[in-house]
Copies of this chain bind each other. A is one copy, B any other.
Amino acid sequence: MLNSQRVSHYAARLALILAFAVTFVLCAPALADTPDETFKALGLAKTASPKELYDALTKRYYDESQGAGKGSFSKYWEPIPISKYLNPHDFYMPPQTIDIDAQRAQCVECHSQVTPGWTHSWKGSVHGNLDAIRNLPDSDVRAYKKAMITEVENNLRSMGTLKTGENLKEVGCIDCHMGVGKDHGQHKTELRMPDAAACGQCHVQQFAERESERDTFTWPQDQWKPGHPSHALSMKANVENAVWAAMEQREVAEGCTFCHTPQTTCNSCHTRHEFSAVQARKPQACAICHNGVDHNEFEGYMLSKHGTIYQTRGDTWDWNVRLADAMEKGNMNAPTCAFCHMEYQGKFTHNMVRKSRWAFVPMPKIAENLNHPWFTQRKESWVSTCSNCHSDRFARAYLDGMDKGIVSGLDITEKARSVLVKLYNDKLLPGQTTNRPAPPAPEKDDAGGFFQLFWQKGNNPSAIEYVFADMWEHHQIKHYKGLAHMNPGGYTYTEGWSQLIGAAAKINDEDTKLREAAEIRAELKRISGQKRGDLDLDSPTRRAIAGGLGLLAVLAGAGLLMRRDRKGG
């Protein structure tokens, strides 16, 4: 639809593209495109040099009061050997078995023998072939990388790691693993596993964009804490999760950590040692984390029209084109994860949460505030994104329908929650009063809580609580994600709605059964009491049974007699 908003949007896009180009040419200030919110949060002027910006970003990045380190549950858990690769800044120590002073050239030499995969990937990467990029004709779709190299050199000069007039020769092992521009280093003491800040030394803008997720994502009604949920604070989200910290099976818990690494490393999306931009542009790069029972974005996308076109026509697209040019120059005629989620007001950056509204999980606190300007402005940004290929009217029709569909799912979930919580409050869950151990600290007991998907003991959780945890954390989220990614089966029958219906049916069914069973027990006690004043329904026998310890002889005898009679009769 041609309207003033779209027009102004395109004008803004054009202006920004020009601004972007100018940035590269002038090289100062470094990061005019980083959101204002981040400059403000860091206390910097927008004229800050790359070094000033990088130093401020890094200081916050390593600040344990702002998301680094083991977090507030640190006393409950310890890292395991694999942890050093997932959160290198906090846990990595060089191996003590290799005691050499390694020269720059030696790294590839030796590792071509011991870990050839590393060096092959690097040799095929841009890092290993800077001059190949520099020599590209301007007509090559990858020519934009020439400007990126210039930008990196400008950053390094600002930081003092590259001299004026000097060009970057290569990005070798030692630059990332010991220090940019170093000639040699002690393998045993100076080796480091690069974190996002290490990449940020050269790629200041991309680092700043990613870090800006902390600043642009402040919820108007505190639905989530500032900066959450986001890639920038993904590791913080992990270590601040009570059941994660509480689990004694650290190797299983560390499985969660594998996906919570975008805060600590760039390797999550740009796999070492090729660090391919093409890889990160493809939906499968996102799929490694964004799949499965509680965030099936990938599955939804693949079974949408968008994913269908990607799968059937994507082999004719030129993936080397940068996102901003993908439609125009790359023949891309359907969106990818990166195209829609990295775009904001016509620009493509590493801040993926500027349009987020429902975020991770539908909540009443979100549903009730969708008309607040914070939410409506974000929806308008989505309309603008969709308008790359759809009419304004189509976009609004879909987005409004999506919101209503999510609210319908939320309604059924919240009704089920009230039934379950009432059972819990009435102490009617199986074994609730006799065999319900509390979860280990720092986790606390809760009816149908998140922790019940990862920990169990005795009658905690009861079967129906697991059903409910599965409902709100999985089915409800998949319902929303199916709607958000235009996968009809994902919010009607295969996932989403039908699963919510089934869970609600099970919860109501169990509610009826547990209350009828309580009625029977009460009636039985009344009768027994009337008949025999000395009836002791609280005998050790009964407690043992209720505690799951088995039938003692006397009762077992009676019970089995009853059944054996039947069989023999």
Contact = CB atoms under 8 A, between A and B. Distances in A.
A506 B303 contact: no
A304 interface: yes
A559 B521 contact: yes
A555 B519 contact: yes
Contacts of A253: 492
A489 B282 CA distance: 20
A258 to B, nearest CB: 4
Nearest to A288: B308
Given A401-B80, A454-B497, A408 B525 contact: no
B85 A509 contact: no
A418 to B, nearest CB: 11
A171 interface: no
A30 to B, nearest CB: 30
B287 A505 contact: no
A285 interface: yes
Contact of A333 (B274, B398, B464): B274
Q: Secondary structure at chain A's binding surface: helix, strand, loop or mixed?
A: helix
Interface in A525-567: 525-528, 530-532, 537-540, 542-543, 545-546, 548, 550-551, 555-556, 558-560, 562-567
A489 B454 CA distance: 13
A3 B564 CA distance: 64
Nearest to A524: B523
B276 A509 contact: no
A115 B327 CA distance: 11
Contacts of A560: 426-427, 433
Contacts of A464: 509
B501 A454 contact: yes
A454 B469 CA distance: 20
Which residue of A254, A258, A412, A463 has the most chain B CB atoms within 10 A of its CB atom?
Answer: A463
Interface string A1-26: 11100110010000000000000000
